[in-house]
């Protein structure tokens, strides 16, 4: 037998089984159509209402987009042309002239337009230093520098440091001190180190200077670490990096701590390991 308190939504006579409270409410608010309707009817009306709103909204959006769409044939030419700028600057001593979107950063201009891929993209948001290059003698993060802002400037990248086959002293020192492993951060580290040495020559203080009002020309290891702190190395080659920069800065040669093994050393090592000599 049916429980009168449980309404059967499938029962077409369900309205007749309203409780006294519901019947009174319906009497007071005849527009309250939910009361007395079956759940299926109510859900059907809700879904239909939602779809109606959705369809209306979709049509409104399509109409708005249709107004924004460029005429056939004009395609995307208009927005691109709006942002183009002609930029001339020197890169590694060579004059370059680029027609470039004003939103393009120097890093992408160097890598994508001038094929100078030595400058690396790490974080692309000014956090790692991998993209460091030198602009007018000062180190900058090329991922945060608009190419258009380099008009008339002099840019030096890692490719521009060597003179023919003669490496820059910092490049020699990085090799000597084993200051890299994977090498991804190395172009940025070396360009940044070039900037650090120039800052020292100009006597500029850093946060690690004991007296920031005094002219600094002699860098301690701590000062080198602080000045290079914007250049991260995921391989942890920091001891070698500091040693390499200190050697070039101070002019005092320190011992190389590694070397290639010669044939005899290799043969001895194989014998010790019990491998047959081939
Ligand atoms: Fe520019 Fe990381 S790529 S700071
Ligand atoms: Fe690998 Fe620095 S050498 S990240």
CATH of the domain at 141: 3.10.20.30
Task: Tell me, yes or no, whether 20 lies in a domain.
Answer: no
Find the domain containing 91 and state its range: 84-160
Atom of ligand 1 nearest to the CA of 121: 3
| Contact in structure between 242 and 208 (CB atoms under 8 Å) | no
Nearest ligand to the CA of 179 is: 2
Report CA(132)–ligand 1 centroid distance (Å): 7
Alpha helices in 141-274 (DSSP H): 169-176, 186-201, 221-227, 238-250, 263-273
Task: Tell me, yes or no, whether 115 lies in a domain.
Answer: yes
Mention every residue, 6+ apart, whose C-beta is less than 8 A from residue 133: 106, 110, 119, 139, 140, 142, 155, 156, 157, 158, 191
133 and 187 inside one domain: no
Q: Is the CB of 122 inside a 6 Å radius of any atom of ligand 1? A: yes
Report CA(164)–ligand 1 centroid distance (Å): 28
- 42-77 pLDDT tens trace: 445 655 555 555 555 555 555 544 444 444 444 444
Task: Tell me, yes or no, whether 72 lies in a domain.
Answer: no
Instruction: Please identify, among 160, 191, 218, the residue that sits at the C-terminal boundary of a domain.
Output: 160
Q: How far apart are CA 34 and CA 129, in angstroms?
A: 65
Around 72, how many Cα atoms within 13 Å sit in the side-chain half-sphere? Answer: 0
122-150 burial code (b ≥16 CB/10 A, e <16): beeeeebbbbbbbbeeebbbbbebbbbeb
Instruction: Please identify, among 160, 178, 205, the residue that sits at the C-terminal boundary of a domain.
Output: 160
Tell me if the pTM is above 0.85: no
- 171-225 pLDDT tens trace: 999 999 999 999 999 999 999 999 999 999 999 888 888 787 777 788 999 999 9
Domains of the chain: total: 2
């Amino acid at each position: 037998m049916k429980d009168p308190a449980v309404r059967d939504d499938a029962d077409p006579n369900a309205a007749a089984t309203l409780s006294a409270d519901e019947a009174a409410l319906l009497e007071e608010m005849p527009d309250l159509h939910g009361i007395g309707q079956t759940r299926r009817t109510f859900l059907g009306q809700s879904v239909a209402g939602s779809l109606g709103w959705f369809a209306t909204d979709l049509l409104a959006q399509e109409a708005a987009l249709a107004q924004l769409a460029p005429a056939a044939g004009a395609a995307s030419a208009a927005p691109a042309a709006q942002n183009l700028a002609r930029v001339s600057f020197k890169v590694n001593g060579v004059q370059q002239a680029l027609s470039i979107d004003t939103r393009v950063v120097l890093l992408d201009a160097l890598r994508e337009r001038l094929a100078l891929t030595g400058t690396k993209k790490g974080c692309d948001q000014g956090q790692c230093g991998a993209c460091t290059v030198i602009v007018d003698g000062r180190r900058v993060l090329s991922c945060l520098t608009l190419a258009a802002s380099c008009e008339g400037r002099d840019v030096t990248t890692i490719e521009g440091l060597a003179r023919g086959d003669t490496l820059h002293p910092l490049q020699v020192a990085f090799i000597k001190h084993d200051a890299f492993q994977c090498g991804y951060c190395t172009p940025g580290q070396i360009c940044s180190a070039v900037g650090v040495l120039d800052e020292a020559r100009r006597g500029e203080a850093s946060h690690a200077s004991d007296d920031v009002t005094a002219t600094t020309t002699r860098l301690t290891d701590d000062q080198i670490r602080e000045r290079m702190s914007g250049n991260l190395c995921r391989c942890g080659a920091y001891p070698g990096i500091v040693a390499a920069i200190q050697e070039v800065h101070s002019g005092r040669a320190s011992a190389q701590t590694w070397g290639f093994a010669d044939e005899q050393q290799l043969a001895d090592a194989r014998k010790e390991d019990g491998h047959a000599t081939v």
